[in-house]
Structure 1
Amino acid sequence: MSTDFKVEIIHKETITPSSPTPPHLKSVNLSFLDQVIPEVYVPLVLFYPNHADQELNSDHQSLIAEKSSILKASLSETLTHFYPLAGEFQYNDSICCDDRGASFIEARVNCRILDILKSPDTEMLKYLFPAAVESTQALTGHLLLVQVNFFECGGMAIAINISHKVADAFTFSRFIKSWSAVALGSISTTDHLVLPAKFGAAVSLYPPQDFLNSPKPLVELTQGKCTTRRFVFDASRIAALKSKAASASVPNPTRVEVVSALIWKCTMEASRSKLGSIRPSLWCQAVNMRKRSGQAFTENLLGNFVWYLAAITVESEVDIQSLVAKFRKCKDDFKGKYRNGLTAEDAYQTIKESGNVLAKEGIDNYSCTSWCWFPFYETNFGWGKPSWVSVRSFQLKDTVLLMDAIDGNGIEASMSFLEEDMAIVESNQELLAYASLNPSVI
């Protein structure tokens, strides 16, 4: 991108729910699963090109006003159902649903949207967002922040920061689906909206713990001098990778399994190259527990309802087949262990054991989250579906986030490592044989 790239804030306001939150819903207690989530914002940006792709005339300002009006009115209506997003975070205890509202920012960008899509720049994306990932509500004043960026060509990028204390990827996806459906005018009833009572329901299974109310976070997020790279695995290369990874024990590996295994293998090789020796490596993967709880009411539960499985290897030499087999066994063991759901005691014990592992020196720890299968590319506010959906860099050490590519078959991987580790990983020839480093979106 040009060094002249500029994002100018032209308007700010607070959007409140169109109807006040009823008195009996004024407070949502955090569950244990909410409490252990770090206080960060989850960042997502959706790009909507102007398909005419031409300089606009004097009606540009009126089009901006029209789109903003639709987005603000539909957001206000949606917040009546996702009311905690318009509330206030009471430190690691509850959400006060006081209808203070969400931040809504309009910005003007002095370039064409295609300039960004042709040459994506993860560092540049931060200017399209209303807040830094590591911010807190005490700093921003809101649990939900939206910045609508209008480009010279008429294209638009909607960037959203949602507090992780209120929402995981499932909840985020439900919120965006509902908001866009209201904007599109396809909802005449609340059939597509999740009933308000679904917020806070996890407390009955996972009561909050007083020791987690300490101002000091349970988990310190390591940032350091990290750098983020975007790798895209297209469908044909994933098919080839699946063929390579298949074995007698796992004849049909999933695309998430093979992509995760390849990235894990590359990180282990980078660690060995840097340190000159092999040490244990832990890969931690987030798991949506809504259909694994043993309770029917959790299938559409809003808030945070994820847990983690961890695969570890100490082998000096690994290949894709063995790592995929390790992933599959770990998943099968996880399903067996939590056949009847994750109990509160299971959760407390896992946190204790994880703390002991993470405290040990000489172990490489990697964290991966998969957003594959969430329908972000179906998000139509009335101007078509997005041409690109991306997550802003978390800049957190040794983290990987996987998302569907636009065709639903490929995978985009956002990888953050220390600069010296990334220099090794991004030049790994096996990785580059199956993934493209930051290719054009269009």
Structure 2
Amino acid sequence: MEVHVVAREVTKPSSPAIQHKKPYKFSFFDQLTPTTYAPIVYFYPKKNNSEPNLTTQTLTHLKKSLSQTLDLYYPFSGRTNDNLYVDRFDEGVPFLEAKVNCSMSDFLKRHDTESLNRLLPCQPFRKEVNMNIPLLAFQVSIFTCGGIALGWCLSHKLIDGSTASAFVTTWASIFRGDLQDVIKPDLNEASLVFPPKISFPQNHLSLMESLWFTEANYVTRRFVFNAKAIATLRDRAKGKLAAPPSRIETLSCFIWKCGMTATKQISGVTKPSILVEAVNLRQKTKPPMSDASSGNLFWWAIAVANPTDTNTEFPELVSLLSEAIALYKSDYTHTLQGEYGFETVSEYCNQLQELFSLEKPDIFAFTSWKKMRFTRPNFGWGEPFWVGVMGKAGPEFRNLTVFVDATDGEGIEAWITLDEQRMAILQRDPEFLAFASPNPRISTL
């Protein structure tokens, strides 16, 4: 497959007044988050339409509606400054047009996850050292059949899953002319609830980078857990819990357990292991924040399995994670808020640093994009036929699993990134393969 970029433009907010807006302040969670791009690719088959200029009209309207969306989400058009704020809102968003030398159907038959990177405007999930990079970038790739792949890279420095969902829902709504679905972002609440630090501790920034990045030969593979497999695993995972764990908690701990098994096969010993799971804080603050609040309003629930004092059987791992997530249902989240909230974060970072000193433990990170509207935007062509989450991660990105809804609406896709050795073992693990289908064929168009 060959992909040729045929045009590069920069899309800016349509309103000239945007360049006079005050800088957008970071929250301290934005300050803690490393600069890296998260990717997603939407596949829209060509509808039965004989108009010869349909693709040209679509591209023109995509850029125009994006420009109008940036009037509301103007920080996304800017650049970061000193890890404190975003300004220069007239810098704009790269918008690339490309042509693919095959049909969408032929591409999907390959079901080659690493080829997804060719449909993206930049390399995803690598450590970006240049802070002066765009916060968003798009690539529209046209297949020979007229189908469109819309590739999107969003900077995690400013945008989490909920923020991405609000943005792309608004863009799709403006494109369709259905302004009832437009979500006006709250651009101030995050920095008021979690105010930024003028002098930010470098050791905390270094810690977060070590949580996100470490060099290895990583590969990403897609696995699908159907509804029956998930139900069986939930039943096995319940253990002494009063109620079955959530589907995401169950799958996170199952993959964690299999990952620890792979580590033991490689090293010959059972090492301490850490699971970190992203938790959305918006509805856990007091009072709850708006779902339209922009920024990185999530933090990590941490579960630690230490073989010297902890049973690492499946139900026990689930209990560890459930306890870690339950912390955010208590008054703990309130202690993160306001002028003294960073003291709680600092204590959290110090505890995490102590965990990192435990014989270089494995770290497995999990995030869920299930039920988020940004995975299924409707630009008037219906929902995407398929969604590609990530191709090949950068050479320094840590073990990460992203969960999304399977195309049947019942199962869950797990896009797992591991180093080559662990992935090879996982793909041969009979316990894992009893529940996960490795890269199943995508339904034909």
Same fold (TM over 0.5): yes
Relative distance call for 1:214 and 1:312 in structure 2 (3 A) is closer
Alpha-carbon distance in 2 for matches of 1:279, 1:371: 29
Answer whether contact 2:183 2:292 (CA < 8 A) is retained: no
SS at structure 2 position matched to 1:231: strand
Relative distance call for 1:377 and 1:408 in structure 2 (3 A) is farther
Alpha-carbon distance in 2 for matches of 1:333, 1:169: 21
Answer whether contact 1:369 1:402 (CA < 8 A) is retained: yes
- What displacement does 1:108 show? 0.4
Question: 1:435 is matched with which residue?
Answer: 436
What percentage of residue pairs aligned between the two structures are identical? Answer: 33
Question: 1:15 is matched with which residue?
Answer: 11
Q: How does 1:209-248 map to 2 (within 5 A)?
A: 209-212=197-200, 218=206, 219-220=209-210, 221-248=213-240
TM normalised by structure 2 equals 0.90
Question: 1:408 is matched with which residue?
Answer: 409
Alpha-carbon distance in 2 for matches of 1:389, 1:97: 32
Relative distance call for 1:360 and 1:165 in structure 2 (3 A) is same
- What displacement does 1:140 show? 7.9
- State the Cα deviation string for residues 124-165 of structure 1 (Å, max 9, x = none): 111110011237494884221110010001111100111111
Relative distance call for 1:271 and 1:138 in structure 2 (3 A) is closer
Relative distance call for 1:421 and 1:296 in structure 2 (3 A) is closer
- State the Cα deviation string for residues 82-109 of structure 1 (Å, max 9, x = none): 1001111113121004222111111000
Alpha-carbon distance in 2 for matches of 1:398, 1:22: 39
SS at structure 1 position matched to 2:432: helix
Question: 1:193 is matched with which residue?
Answer: 183
* 2:24 corresponds to 1:28: yes
SS at structure 1 position matched to 2:330: helix
- The AA in structure 1 aligned to 2:38 is V
Alpha-carbon distance in 2 for matches of 1:67, 1:16: 18
Alpha-carbon distance in 2 for matches of 1:329, 1:280: 18
Question: 2:295 is matched with which residue?
Answer: 303
* 2:370 corresponds to 1:372: yes
- The AA in structure 1 aligned to 2:150 is I
* Larger deviation, residues 244-253 vs 65-74: 244-253
Q: How does 1:1-400 map to 2 (within 5 A)?
A: 5-22=1-18, 25-52=21-48, 62-133=53-124, 134=126, 136=128, 138=130, 141-187=133-179, 192-195=182-185, 198-212=186-200, 218=206, 219-220=209-210, 221-315=213-307, 318-338=312-332, 340=334, 342=336, 343-393=341-391, 394-395=393-394, 396-400=397-401
Alpha-carbon distance in 2 for matches of 1:420, 1:380: 39
* RMSD (CA atoms): 2.4
TM normalised by structure 1 equals 0.90
Question: 2:421 is matched with which residue?
Answer: 420
SS at structure 2 position matched to 1:400: strand
SS at structure 1 position matched to 2:282: coil
Relative distance call for 1:50 and 1:215 in structure 2 (3 A) is farther
Relative distance call for 1:140 and 1:208 in structure 2 (3 A) is closer
- What displacement does 1:329 show? 2.2
- What displacement does 1:302 show? 0.5
- The AA in structure 2 aligned to 1:325 is S
Alpha-carbon distance in 2 for matches of 1:277, 1:210: 44
Alpha-carbon distance in 2 for matches of 1:30, 1:381: 30
Answer whether contact 1:398 1:417 (CA < 8 A) is retained: yes
- The AA in structure 2 aligned to 1:9 is V
Answer whether contact 1:20 1:80 (CA < 8 A) is retained: no
Answer whether contact 1:28 1:95 (CA < 8 A) is retained: yes
Alpha-carbon distance in 1 for matches of 2:18, 2:219: 45
Answer whether contact 2:281 2:333 (CA < 8 A) is retained: no
Relative distance call for 1:137 and 1:386 in structure 2 (3 A) is farther
Alpha-carbon distance in 1 for matches of 2:273, 2:203: 31
SS at structure 2 position matched to 1:212: coil
Answer whether contact 2:9 2:96 (CA < 8 A) is retained: yes
Relative distance call for 1:213 and 1:75 in structure 2 (3 A) is farther
Unaligned runs of 5+ in 2: none
Alpha-carbon distance in 2 for matches of 1:388, 1:183: 20
Answer whether contact 1:250 1:325 (CA < 8 A) is retained: no
Alpha-carbon distance in 2 for matches of 1:168, 1:25: 23
Alpha-carbon distance in 1 for matches of 2:114, 2:194: 38
Answer whether contact 2:19 2:89 (CA < 8 A) is retained: no
- The AA in structure 2 aligned to 1:265 is K
- The AA in structure 2 aligned to 1:117 is L
